[in-house]
Amino acid sequence: MIGQSGIAVKSVQRADAASVAELSKYGVATIHEAMGRVGLLAPYMRPIYPGAKVCGTAVTIFAHPGDNWMLHVAAEMLQAGDVAVLGTSSDNADGMFGDLLATSFRARGAMGLVIDAGCRDTADLRSMQFPVWAKAVYGKGTVKATVGSVNTPIICAGALVHPGDVIIADDDGVVVVPQARAAAVAEAASRREAKEAATRERLGKGELGLDIYGMRDTLAKAGLLYFDDEAAYQDRTASQVVTASQRGPHK
Amino acid sequence: MIGQSGIAVKSVQRADAASVAELSKYGVATIHEAMGRVGLLAPYMRPIYPGAKVCGTAVTIFAHPGDNWMLHVAAEMLQAGDVAVLGTSSDNADGMFGDLLATSFRARGAMGLVIDAGCRDTADLRSMQFPVWAKAVYGKGTVKATVGSVNTPIICAGALVHPGDVIIADDDGVVVVPQARAAAVAEAASRREAKEAATRERLGKGELGLDIYGMRDTLAKAGLLYFDDEAAYQDRTASQVVTASQRGPHK
Amino acid sequence: MIGQSGIAVKSVQRADAASVAELSKYGVATIHEAMGRVGLLAPYMRPIYPGAKVCGTAVTIFAHPGDNWMLHVAAEMLQAGDVAVLGTSSDNADGMFGDLLATSFRARGAMGLVIDAGCRDTADLRSMQFPVWAKAVYGKGTVKATVGSVNTPIICAGALVHPGDVIIADDDGVVVVPQARAAAVAEAASRREAKEAATRERLGKGELGLDIYGMRDTLAKAGLLYFDDEAAYQDRTASQVVTASQRGPHK
Amino acid sequence: MIGQSGIAVKSVQRADAASVAELSKYGVATIHEAMGRVGLLAPYMRPIYPGAKVCGTAVTIFAHPGDNWMLHVAAEMLQAGDVAVLGTSSDNADGMFGDLLATSFRARGAMGLVIDAGCRDTADLRSMQFPVWAKAVYGKGTVKATVGSVNTPIICAGALVHPGDVIIADDDGVVVVPQARAAAVAEAASRREAKEAATRERLGKGELGLDIYGMRDTLAKAGLLYFDDEAAYQDRTASQVVTASQRGPHK
Amino acid sequence: MIGQSGIAVKSVQRADAASVAELSKYGVATIHEAMGRVGLLAPYMRPIYPGAKVCGTAVTIFAHPGDNWMLHVAAEMLQAGDVAVLGTSSDNADGMFGDLLATSFRARGAMGLVIDAGCRDTADLRSMQFPVWAKAVYGKGTVKATVGSVNTPIICAGALVHPGDVIIADDDGVVVVPQARAAAVAEAASRREAKEAATRERLGKGELGLDIYGMRDTLAKAGLLYFDDEAAYQDRTASQVVTASQRGPHK
Amino acid sequence: MIGQSGIAVKSVQRADAASVAELSKYGVATIHEAMGRVGLLAPYMRPIYPGAKVCGTAVTIFAHPGDNWMLHVAAEMLQAGDVAVLGTSSDNADGMFGDLLATSFRARGAMGLVIDAGCRDTADLRSMQFPVWAKAVYGKGTVKATVGSVNTPIICAGALVHPGDVIIADDDGVVVVPQARAAAVAEAASRREAKEAATRERLGKGELGLDIYGMRDTLAKAGLLYFDDEAAYQDRTASQVVTASQRGPHK
């Protein structure tokens, strides 16, 4: 059950270290493509400083608005290589996490935090180089009054995260790789990177994607019309132009 | 795996009809409380007309931005008593659903739609009394070019929905009850309603919640100070007032 | 001090009944103009049903996100003719208020609620015709764990509200009239309405505001240029046109 | 030049009355499809009461934030059958338009208003049945200090509008039809409606869009896989499933 | 009266220099906690470059949308150690402030600006190291047509600011300390910092907040259940788990 | 027609190189003022790294949500000195552009991209110093299924852009200068800069804008009242103060 309060699971299975190490070589965009273009958190999740990057295993936290109690409970479950991931029971931007908790998390081995709420003490966190991806930067403090959960499945910024899943985060945002798929995704990412390297070289020489990917035919079939210049285009009246998108059923 | 494209599952197990019938007696707010205050979709999901209400079993749809192809695929899977629920691979407000699809859905037995995207032809849908909860009302049409999935787990407006789960929607929004918990939640909702009826009567006579719920002691313990009037409050300097929220550790 | 927690003031001075009665004759837009175009709450505050209207004296509530405890404390302070007004310590859309509290509030004499957070049980509230202006309609429930305040100055949706101020709310939103200014504002509103009635009659006959308000000269001085038709306008090159807004210092 | 201040064009060519009359038979969604899925204003433009509908020729207004002066200038240019359309130089939600201006506009023959800003006196406007599509309902008043323009091209809610273009607005939002295309779009809308009527009948009998539109082959080619039930789907490991969207180049 | 136009107060009392100097040692998050978790401006107020920090006394400005006239009026009232703070009569993102005004403000002694609107020339301001906290960065210019006020109480980004109050702003946002409380808050902040330093050291050694703050008992009383692993948790059926948040009255 | 799909115009006229070179000397804010305070894109368009700056001629792209096909088509039309500008048929934040396309665009001579959608691979783009102004940074990939257009007029972030127009973008946002006005705007910007340099020097010496711009009289006429201190202001009752904004007609 998603979002249940009152549960703290001490020990969870984590994605295997080899897969995590392999995934850490790739960026968020590449990994998300390797998974079939899924697994991203919402685009409002931003790093608190540019260049932040992390790859680790999820310890999940379910918290209530204006209440950061469960971050303290989670600290005890964190191990080396973990990334804490926090979802809330409703929308909230309060600064649930700051430099004291970061000190504690780092001492326990945590590599970073992904929080669907606010973060504060961001100048200190930048000095510490403790990376956080958050919905907001906000000085607002919180209470410790209502229990949530630790290490149950959560939804964070629109993505489902299970304890032990792999979390990769960089300047482009955050992606979650289900534990069971970690090895396969790492391999797919590797293949994708290799392929992209070759393409990058060709593109860098001025070759066109249209030719590299063989798109000219499909574009023509999809109805794209080329005109030499604006005058040629104006010569056709708008009413005569039947575009690709106007063909076929629309409803 | 959440959000996978290319899958259409024809037959899924649905929550038992008795539980659905029982749940249909209660509103969204009551059911969400009966579940332990979880299960709600985000508050941006609004009915397209006031007074809309539905309770049924989910047929889930995963679609891509600007593309409503999978709604047609889903039509074939809909049965009497179903509510279609659509999540997208990224944020999109296009009008994926209109009166033609509503005609088709109704003919197949569907009772309504919950769509984390846009809806159109809303005047017609209101005339038909076909209830839709949507993120936006928008005339924008869509293409049919990229496949998503039908009857796989999805995330819709921040909530995890499995095929066959119970969907209850009314003026207050939308709540999802996992299939396995439907009977228990219905029973809890029933108990809650009964209790509320008695409370409502007492409150209606002017009795205070403070007394009915016995809150006066806990409020005092939490640090609430009563003053007879504004003058009495002003007499105390602000610096002397130590509020409950200032006690204890905050970080 | 704005936003202090832990204070409940039992008895506050309210705006005089005669001024409140007089103000109740006017709409939000008129009253806000009569005050010099100030006093409005932010435009996201919307009535939960069309046609809702209220005019009464404020009982103020300061609450924390996800926590509606202070609404119960406020119930005891409410008198006939009051409107409860709730501000929060940080942004929150949880459904802090529903039909039980509405039953209680009405039994105590309250005429409505203005809440910078969420409201639920809205179908019931519409049936009861208990008007609420809220930031969101959302079924999400709340806890009772952290104390706020009642009858201290608050900020609600960007406006400062003191206990006893006059609150007028209708389809156009919500405006607050400071207690000390209630009589003067009512009188100014009355004068404004009288003047508008005369203007409305003239406008209804097709007379132009340009003439009624004598704007033609000031428009010319401000640099508005009239052209007989589009061709005349095209004849002047854009570079020759010097508009009013381009004259004088801009930084 | 878009957005130039200081211009008022008295007489503009309007779309021919026959085309406007023909377009008035169709809804926003149909017309936007008939144009090739373009021409819509942004989805935040909403009618101030449900069921509002208008079709007329645009008198365009360019205004500055917090300033409604040009609405008075526009009143003089309005003719029977016109719809006033207002764009602003920057984002603003102030209530630029209310019942007095509506009285004036109606007296001049205007049928409604589309305003990329706020509207007020909405209860009166609903009583008058004067339809307005606005970004916000807000009581906030405005000054008359800075000139804009009337009857120059504007951008309103993301759409380009020329004076004399046809504006159709209903519950689904607002669409603009360029004057020169009015006749052709009306005809295309008519064809579309006719086709949809036939489709609606078939769908109403339970026939599927999949069959009516012949989608089964294209879905198969696009990679959609059907499974009889959830067990069948689980039998395939996720890693084996190659979806349509994973094929081919993505970057 | 909040938001009144047409007032310019030349000389205001400012918070005493010693308290301002003391407060300048602490960050926004610390000071807001020292005040009882109040006084913050909304989280959308962001510095125009990372690492910006300021602490000074407020000169307040009330301005209208699209109009920066009162910033020039305020320049005359600025003294060494001041921070200008601007609130608006309605939501606006225009670039009211740029490098010329910054040059003027600095020449008068101002240390920075907090503006609930837009800012421009941000590359120049970064070069000058003139810190600004703003709602938006936007090149849009403004007029000088409508008077507002200087040195009257304002609401800026949801917070009440009086002339002479202390403004502290850093990467975490902006907090306002009422003049009369400056000394007491500085002292409380000092105590808090001292206490945090000790806690930070313990946390840095791996000690848990759970133990330092003695939370284990209260967590147990609040209903948190520990499970050794996921299997142990699965063994209990969801229906048997009664969480803390499900106990007691909820409405 | 704005937004038409299916058109690719190979050769377009571009603004003359001399004007572009001249415009490249000025910032976005200055150029927008020189045009009469128009031409800006919406403030949500932000550079992906601070200090990014570009000035070039527009190659326009019209794309559909979740589909970046037309960016590949556009690559072929790009020449040295061009800036690609992309508008969409509806709101979308998917990462349509990344390092591969940037490699291709740079190889063709493009200087940057302005995209009313998402951008990804931002760490790589920063390393490449390939400047992009985007609505969002988001790793989400796209399909290549629906054709849009290249080198037709588009609306991007609320601004009308024709192929060949001059695009200037920096930390303050993005402005578009119509091709025909490029020379005149460059000259006006030059005059403005010269004038500002003189003003800056005077302001830097502590002279006031009030005096430099001669505002004291107009402020008095507009109704601004000066008070020596807060006591003097309090002596006047609020009801007696008639502000400038309260004079004259408001509706």
- For B171-201, what is each residue's pLDDT tens digit? 999 999 999 999 999 999 999 999 999 999 9
Over residues D48-68, mean pLDDT: 98
- Using an 8 Å CB-CB cutoff, list chain E residues near F46: 137
F244 and chain E in contact, CB less than 8 A: yes
> Which residues make Cβ contacts (< 8 Å) with residue D216, sequence separation at least 6?
D210
Nearest to A169 by CA among A5, A60, A27: A27
Nearest to B114 by CA among B67, B180, B178, B161: B161
The pLDDT-based confidence of C4 (bands split at 50, 70, 90) is: confident
Q: Do E139 and F205 touch (CB under 8 A)?
A: no
> Angle at Cα A180 formed by Cα A174 and Cα A183, nearest 5°?
80
Over residues B143-148, mean pLDDT: 96
Which one-letter DSSP state was computed for residue E33? Answer: H
> Per the structure block, which two tokens stand in for D56?
């007329």
The pair phi, psi for residue B17, each rounded to 5°, is -60, -35
Ramachandran assignment for B81, one of left (phi > 0), alpha (psi -120 to 50 degrees), beta (any other):
left
F221 and chain C in contact, CB less than 8 A: no
Q: Do C215 and D69 touch (CB under 8 A)?
A: yes
From CA B197, how far away is CA C5, in angstroms rounded?
A: 32
- Using an 8 Å CB-CB cutoff, list chain D residues near A37: 245-246, 250
A16 and chain E in contact, CB less than 8 A: no
- Name the percent of chain D lying above pLDDT 90: 91
The pLDDT-based confidence of B242 (bands split at 50, 70, 90) is: very low
B91 and chain F in contact, CB less than 8 A: yes
What SS3 class is residue E211? helix
Type of residue numbered C2: I
- For B83-140, what is each residue's pLDDT tens digit? 999 999 999 999 999 999 999 999 999 999 999 999 999 999 999 999 999 999 999 9
pLDDT of C1 reads: 56
B206 and chain E in contact, CB less than 8 A: no
Ramachandran assignment for B127, one of left (phi > 0), alpha (psi -120 to 50 degrees), beta (any other):
alpha
Over residues C84-107, mean pLDDT: 98
Minimal Cα–Cα distance from B236 to chain A, Å?
25
The pLDDT-based confidence of E3 (bands split at 50, 70, 90) is: confident
Q: What is the pTM (predicted TM-score) of this model?
A: 0.95
pLDDT of B114 reads: 98
More confident residue, A165 or B234: A165
Over residues C122-131, mean pLDDT: 98
D218: closest chain B residue by CA: B145
pLDDT of D4 reads: 85
DSSP states along C78-101: --TTEEEEEEESS----EEE-HHH
From CA F174, how far away is CA B226, in angstroms rounded?
A: 55
Nearest to F122 by CA among D239, A171, A93: A171
Whether E246 has a pLDDT exceeding 60, the answer reads no
From CA A175, how far away is CA A168, in angstroms rounded?
A: 5
- Report whether E98 contacts E121 (CB < 8 A): yes
Task: For chain F, give the mean pLDDT.
Answer: 93
Residue for token digits 């009469």? F36
- For A165-203, what is each residue's pLDDT tens digit? 999 999 999 999 999 999 999 999 999 999 999 999 999
Chains linked to D by 3 or more Cβ pairs within 8 Å: A, B, C, E, F
Minimal Cα–Cα distance from E142 to chain C, Å?
7
- Among the residue ranges B26-35, B162-171, B199-208, E2-11, the one predicted with the least confidence is E2-11
Q: Do C196 and F251 touch (CB under 8 A)?
A: yes
- For A66-122, what is each residue's pLDDT tens digit? 999 999 999 999 999 999 999 999 999 999 999 999 999 999 999 999 999 999 999
Over residues E25-53, mean pLDDT: 97
> Per the structure block, which two tokens stand in for F24?
């490249």
Chains linked to A by 3 or more Cβ pairs within 8 Å: B, C, D, E, F
Of E215, E228, E238, the CB nearest to A72: E215
Task: For chain A, give the mean pLDDT.
Answer: 93
Nearest to A26 by CA among A39, A44, A12: A39
From CA D129, how far away is CA D114, in angstroms rounded?
A: 14
Task: For chain E, give the mean pLDDT.
Answer: 93
- For A223-236, what is each residue's pLDDT tens digit? 999 999 999 998 87
Whether B148 has a pLDDT exceeding 70, the answer reads yes
Type of residue numbered D25: K
F116: closest chain D residue by CA: D158
Of E1, E38, E42, the CB nearest to C3: E38
Whether E242 has a pLDDT exceeding 90, the answer reads no
Q: Do B145 and F140 touch (CB under 8 A)?
A: no
- Using an 8 Å CB-CB cutoff, list chain F residues near D141: 250-251
Over residues A53-72, mean pLDDT: 98
> Per the structure block, which two tokens stand in for B45?
């999901």
Over residues D96-111, mean pLDDT: 98
- For A204-222, what is each residue's pLDDT tens digit? 999 999 999 999 999 999 9
ipTM above 0.85?
A: yes
- For F154-178, what is each residue's pLDDT tens digit? 999 999 999 999 999 999 999 999 9
Q: Do C42 and E91 touch (CB under 8 A)?
A: yes
- Report whether B12 contacts D228 (CB < 8 A): no
Whether F241 has a pLDDT exceeding 60, the answer reads no
Of C40, C215, C238, the CB nearest to D72: C215
DSSP states along chain D: -TT-SSEEEEE-----HHHHHHHTTS-HHHHHHHTTS--BPPTT-EESSTT--EEEEEEEEEE-TTB-HHHHHHHHH--TTEEEEEEESS----EEE-HHHHHHHHHHT--EEEEEEEE--HHHHHHHT--EEEEEE-----B--S--EESS-EEETTEEE-TT-EEEEETTEEEEE-GGGHHHHHHHHHHHHHHHHHHHHHHHTT--HHHHTT-HHHHHHTT-EEEEEHHHHHHS-GGG---GGGSS---
